Amino acid sequence: MNRAMNNFDRARHRLAGDFKAMITDSEELLQAAASVSGEGFKAARSKFEGKLQNAKAALADASQPLVERSRETAAVADDYVSTNPWTAVGVAVAAGALLGIWVAKR
């Protein structure tokens, strides 16, 4: 679990850096569009597209460990419910009752 969280934190920092760079590049793109039409605009646009693709890839990389961990957790929960159905029903009823009490007090 700690390894997945560390990987997620690293990917999140990388993603934040990519988004900051994308914002900077978009500002450059706007400046280039206002002052230069032609080669300057094309260069800024292609640079912006590259940064956008990198940000999308970083987001996919960051979410992959969480998706895998979620699948593992769902499989474990499914196995537990299959082997202990009445315990699962009892936990669900208790959680529902607590949620009902909490909502009723608000």
- What's the total number of domains in the chain? 1
Q: Residue 86 belongs to what domain range? A: 2-105
- Tell me the pLDDT band of 33, cut-offs 50, 70 and 90: low
Is the entire prediction scored with pTM above 0.75? no
End-to-end CA distance of the chain: 35
**What average pLDDT score do residues 51-56 get?**
74
Give the CB-side neighbour count of residue 62, counting CA atoms within 13 A: 16
Largest CA distance in the chain: 70
Whether 9 has a pLDDT exceeding 90, the answer reads no
- Return the residue matching tokens 């009490």: 101
* 18 and 51 Cβ atoms separated by less than 8 Å: yes
